[in-house]
Amino acid sequence: MKSRYRLPLWILLALAAFLIVLHTALPHLVRNYLNDKMADMGDYRGQVADVDLAWWRGAYRLDGLLIEKKDKQVQAPLLDAPLIDIAVSWRELWRNQAVVAVVVFEQPKLNFVDGGERGESQTGDGVDWRDQLEALLPITLNEIRVVDGQLSFRNFTAEPPVHVYASAVDASLYNLTNSADAKGERVATFEGTAKLFNQAPMEARAHFDPFTDWENFQVSLRMTDLDLTKLNDFSNAYGSFDFAKGSGDLVLEVEAKDSQLGGYIKPLLHNVEVFNFRQDIEAEDKGFFRGLWEAVVGGTEEVLQNQRKDQFATRIELSGSTRSADVSPFQAFIAILRNAFVQAFTARFERSLELEEE
């Protein structure tokens, strides 16, 4: 009988040593590659603190991803992602022989900043993020998940500074593959929930083609039971008034077909009090004319609210194109009058854009 052929021990040891060296060196090579690619991204730059590999599940983890403006004049980074897990889908690899990845962001923070006249704004403009993502990850992304994230709008130059944020963001963005369906269409879906100011529940859903410039999409969003006093820094900075009490809901449905925009935004305010003599006139940090302006704002809201239900509602129609959305002030004013004296809206979706299309 022939004996089985066995590799010499030294070959096995050399192979094991090579794998150990590869496992040790490859994370540093990947980190250096990513940092080199992100060093110059138009108006922004990025860096990764560390990279860990998980061979047994075809994944690697990025630690400490930071994307910020090059000039560093903004007091918050555009993106701060402590941990990102990128894993290859073995199911897609086995069934379709395609390298498809699932990306999970754990506790990321995304910051948009209004710099006003004295500071630097930060909106993410100045970078083709789609091209940048393809350069960093030259594989197909089928799904992106966000776990316990935060989305913020900030203004550091306002007095006091403005920070409007949605916390506890859990979202999924899936069906991002390059393949089209039977009709030749590519439809990605976004679903997410969050809490505005860590208090008011929000839910959102969207359908869109990830390979077009937002020519066709559908978006719906609902937020309920927001304590309006949490908006005081924002309303103070942008409207020169604040809320003494009240709560609010918001419903939004928007769609675009061939770049033509349609839909509505519908706010609903309950038990609102803007003007308070003791708070607004006698307060040391407010002047007489500031208090007078808040009296005008509060008086206008009082006239236009539904007296029976003590709520203030309107429906603002959206029209135009995806490149220049237009909200008609006249339409908004007519909607305020109609809904203030005729009926009060409830915080629910008034219509389904999908059903209308069918």
Q: Work out the pLDDT band at 191, boundaries 50, 70, 90.
A: very high
Higher pLDDT, 60 or 290: 60
pLDDT in tens, 92-121: 656 665 667 889 999 999 999 988 777 788
User: Which residues, 6+ apart, have CB-to-CB distance to 3 below 8 Å?
Assistant: none
CA 5 to centroid of chain Cα atoms: 59
Average the pLDDT over each of 90-104, 125-139, 164-178, 221-235 and give the range with the smallest value.
90-104
Q: What is the pLDDT of residues 18-32, one digit of tens each?
A: 566 655 667 788 888
What was the pLDDT predicted at 256? 83
Dig out the tokens for 259 from the structure: 């770049």
- Sorting pLDDT into bands at 50, 70 and 90, what band is 79? very high
CA neighbours within 13 Å on the CB side: how many for 343?
A: 4
State both tokens at 127.
């970078």
Quick one: pLDDT at residue 160?
87
DSSP string covering 42-110, please?
Answer: TTEEEE-SEEEEEGGGTEEEEEEEEEEETT--SSS-SEEEEEEEEEE-HHHHHHH---EEEEEEES-EE
**What does the pLDDT read at residue 291?**
47
Among 54, 53, 55, 52, residue whose Cα is nearest residue 63: 52
- b/e code 215-227 from CB counts within 10 Å (16+ = b): ebbbbbbbbbebe
For tokens 């060093």, the residue is 39
* Cβ 103 vs Cβ 144: under 8 Å: yes
Are 63 and 106 in contact by the 8 Å Cβ rule? The answer is no
Distance of alpha carbon 134 from alpha carbon 92, whole angstroms: 19
Dihedral of CA atoms 167, 172, 177, 183 in degrees, nearest 10, equals -120
* Per-residue tokens: 185: 């269409």
- The structure's pTM equals 0.76
